[in-house]
Each structure stands twice: as structure tokens, then as C-alpha cells.
Structure 1
Amino acid sequence: MSGHSKWSTIKHKKAAQDAKRGKVFTKLIKELTVAARLGGGDPDGNPRLRAAIAAAKAENMPKENIERAIKKGTGELEGEAYEEAIYEGYGPGGVAILVEVTTDNRNRAASEIRHIFSKNGGSLGEAGCVAWMFEKHGLIVFNKDKVEEDHLMEVALEAGAEDVRDQEDQFEVITTPGDLEKVKAVFDEKGMVYEMAHVTMVPQSTVRVEDEKTAQQLLKLMDALEDNDDVQNAYANFDIPDEILNAVA
């Protein structure tokens, strides 16, 4: 997972600094609305909504924006009728890609996703072609210079994490989706600084991409997907060495 999670960390930092912050808010509002529509407006009884609220707060979304999105989901306010879809395919180098979409126009979304894949050296596949390679987990990423490994391992496992993985210059703490907030809260209480914490799709195996041209084309494809207004998340199983990732990202 290291290549993709490292790229996600870079993207997360960049989004907090540039004009794409508006797109981040749009995606969060969609998730809040859909989560409230599917599971109700009470976060105590709706884990998906609880996670969406935590993500929105992490991006400093105003409280009134969060409440408005939830009310649109529960029907208290008029809002768009969003539906969810998953698209699967392959990128340059044979990398598996899973795309989660939330849209008010499914035909438009399908057409745009197909175009993005074909334009950037990828191909959209049939349903189920790569989904089996991914499992949903909580992921908390630490830079190695911010934490001591033995201490991280002890705290993480006592808090209920499933695993701690050594990934080059990062540690990745893996949890079940339901335990992410609990484990993250323990780190917060102890003042342990992490780079990123969210529910994600973790690949069971990775594809090593060591050619710089292929890596550049692959990341261009991933950027185009994440920049699309209908795409909520795009996951991939690439593992790009740090020196190449830093050069092309």
C-alpha cells in the first residue's frame, strides 16, 4: 500500500493548500448527504455519517455546512438526488484501479470516467474485475520522524488496531473501518501526530512501478479521476519507489 498511501498523503497536503479545497468540500458534502439519507441523521447510530462528520471537521468545514448537508440527506431541506456507483479498471503498468462515484447523473459519470481512463493509458473493465483485490480498512499514516516504532506498535495494538506496517519512510496503522475513530482518538489523546487517517480500500497485493514514464502517466490518470466532480475516491494498488514518486508527484 505504501506507494498509493504516500501519494494520497501528498495529495492531502496539497489539497489543503490550493484552490482544489473547494472540490474537497463538495465531495465531503456529498458524502454527508448520502450517509444521512441511507442511515439517518443521528451520527451515534450511523457509523458512516459519524466518519463523514469527522472527515469534514478535519478539513475545517463550518458547522453550518455540515448540518445543512445532513438535513438535505434526511429530507429536512431540499437537495440533489445522489446515487452511488463503482467503476473498475486498469491503469498503465497493469495497476488495478477502483473508483467510487456519487453523482446526480449516472450516464454522465460513466461517460466521463471511461474517457478519463482511455485518455490516460488505462482501460475501464467489467464489474468485479478488480474489486476482489481490495478490502475496506481504516488507515492511519505516520511519518517515521514523528514517532518511535515500538511506542507506536504498543499504543496501536492496545487501542485495537489490526496491524502496524513499516513502509519505507512511513508507518501505516491498519484498523477495521469501525475501529478507526476509536484508535485515532487514542493517538489524539497521547499527542501522537499522524499525517492522515481515513477509511480506505487496501489492496491485498501491489504492482511495483519502477519506470518513471509509466509512473507519471499513472499518476496523471489518478489525478484526473480525483479531479472529477463525481468521483468521491479513487484507489489503486501501485507501489512506486519514493525517489520516482517524489520526482513525478
Structure 2
Amino acid sequence: MSGHSKWSTIKRKKGANDAQRAKIFTKIAREIIVAVKAGGPDPDNNSSLKDAIAKARSNNMPNDNINRTIKKAAGDTDGDNYESITYEGYGPAGVAVIVNALTDNRNRTAADVRHAFDKNGGNMGQTGCVSFMFDQKGIIIIENEDMDEDEITMDALEAGADDIEVEDGVAEIVTAPSDMGAVRDALAEKYTISSAEVSMVPQTMTELTEEGQINAMTKLLDMLEDNDDVQDVYHNWDMPSED
């Protein structure tokens, strides 16, 4: 996966300030609420909730927050009814963008997402306009400067991974979406998981060379990720290295 585009997003989140962390916790709490309402409060019998809890912990969300959110969702039959919506569009120079949202007001969210595209040289398209350029994959990230590449590769493949790439102390493990949880749990017995989630992985990457396009694409991603209703943003921009 050229450029470790998903890992670049994770690195941005890991370096978040307190306000950004609070926003991330709010978004994860929505995922937990939706998972509990759909499948119940027991993660052993609710794989979506188990995945949401794992995501919360990988983002250092306190256990008290997680447990409080689960209890609230289990006892709240009227409020916090969120709808899952996916938007697709194009950023500067035709960069493909997919936006996943959980919202209690689809008109507000659609207007906000459209505004972000319009303001930064892009445009929101119809459903399906760019999703065919992506494959849904489970992505597990393990950070360890001292990792043995051969050992972790063997462990990942034995756990059921489809592929693994190790570079600069970061292992990016690819699974089928349905296998992600089982592979994550198997590897967690031996390794510290930095991130594990089902992602939309671009089939090809788009490079931006003009400074104006790079700045506009950066601002587009920032606006989308800062929106409380937006859960995930996927794109095929081959982001420049932060190093």
C-alpha cells in the first residue's frame, strides 16, 4: 500500500491534542452506541461492539468512558439514534474521497460534507462514483522498532492474515474484513496492537505536485475529520511523508 496512507491518518490521530482527542472519543462513543443498540451490550456476543471497544482502547479511551457509554446505550431506548451514511466525492485534481458518517440529522451532515468539498476545490458525487476504486480490508497496525520481521510475518499469516508489510518498525497487516477481529485477537496475545479496523484501501494512488492542490487537499481532510458526524475519511492521495 503505497505511502501507508491509512497509517499517515493514524499518525495524525496519535499526535492529537486534548481537544482532538475529545473529538475522537466522541466519535468512537457513537460507534459503541450504535453497536450496542444493534447487537446488545455483551462484546462476547456482539462482534461490532468488540471491534468498537478495541478501537477505543487503541486510541487510549479510558475504560470508565467505554463502560459508561455501553451502559448508557443499553438503557437508552429513545435517544442517540444515529444513522450510518456514506458520501463519495472528489478532492483537488480528482483525488477519490469516501466519507463515513454517523448522524442524527442527515440534512445537516450532507450540507456540512458538501461544503467541505466545495470550499476546497472538490465536489461531492453520487453513491458509487469512487467506491469502486477501493477494496474493503481489515488493517492491523503494530508498532515495534525491535520487531523481528520474519517472526511477525509468520505469526500474522498463521493467524489468518492475507498479507503483511513491515517498514521502519511498523507492521501493516491486511486481512479479509470478516477475519480482522480473529487475527487481531490472535496477535494481541503476543504483540501490542496500535490500531485495528476495517478500512477502504485504495487500489491506486493519486499524487499531487502543486502546492495549492496539496494545501486544499489537506484542508479538505481537516474539515471532514473535524466534523463531529464524520467517523472515517478514506482517500487515494499519496500523502507526502511527514518526516
Distance 2:205 2:167 in 1: 13
The aligned counterpart of 1:47 is: 47
Which deviations, in whole Å up to 9, do the C-alpha atoms of 1:38-85 show, x marking residues without a partner?
Answer: 222222222111101111223333334323333444444653221111
Contact 2:146 2:169 in 1 (8 A): no
Distance 1:194 1:63 in 2: 17
Provide closer, same or farther for how the CA distance between residues 53 and 196 of structure 1 changes in structure 2, counting only shifts above 3 A.
closer
The aligned counterpart of 2:159 is: 159
Which deviations, in whole Å up to 9, do the C-alpha atoms of 1:130-149 show, x marking residues without a partner?
Answer: 12222222212345844232
The aligned counterpart of 2:216 is: 217
TM-score by length of 2: 0.88
Distance 1:101 1:70 in 2: 20
Superposition RMSD on alpha carbons, in Å?
2.4
Contact 2:14 2:59 in 1 (8 A): no
Provide closer, same or farther for how the CA distance between residues 58 and 37 of structure 1 changes in structure 2, counting only shifts above 3 A.
same
Which deviations, in whole Å up to 9, do the C-alpha atoms of 1:66-121 show, x marking residues without a partner?
Answer: 23333444444653221111100011121110000111111010000000011111
Contact 1:180 1:199 in 2 (8 A): yes
TM-score by length of 1: 0.86
The aligned counterpart of 1:10 is: 11
Secondary structure of 1:235's counterpart equals: strand
The alpha-carbon deviation at position 227 of structure 1 amounts to 0.5
The aligned counterpart of 2:130 is: 130
The aligned counterpart of 2:225 is: 226
Q: Answer yes or no: is 1:19 the counterpart of 2:15.
A: no
**Could you tell me which amino acid in structure 1 is paired with residue 217 of structure 2?**
L
Map 1:1-249 onto structure 2 (within 5 A): 1-3=1-3, 4-15=5-16, 17-76=17-76, 79-142=79-142, 145-165=145-165, 170-190=170-190, 192-193=191-192, 195-240=194-239, 244-246=240-242
Provide closer, same or farther for how the CA distance between residues 171 and 36 of structure 1 changes in structure 2, counting only shifts above 3 A.
same
Provide closer, same or farther for how the CA distance between residues 147 and 215 of structure 1 changes in structure 2, counting only shifts above 3 A.
farther
Q: Relative to structure 2, which stretch is displaced further, 55-64 or 122-131?
A: 55-64
Distance 2:169 2:188 in 1: 21
Secondary structure of 1:70's counterpart equals: helix
Which deviations, in whole Å up to 9, do the C-alpha atoms of 1:5-44 show, x marking residues without a partner?
Answer: 23212212112x4321110111011001111122222222
Q: Relative to structure 2, which stretch is displaced further, 133-142 or 23-32?
A: 133-142
**Could you tell me which amino acid in structure 2 is paired with residue 34 of structure 1?**
V
Secondary structure of 2:231's counterpart equals: strand
For structure 2, which runs of at least 5 residues remain unmatched after alignment?
none
Distance 2:75 2:206 in 1: 44
For structure 1, which runs of at least 5 residues remain unmatched after alignment?
none
Secondary structure of 1:86's counterpart equals: strand
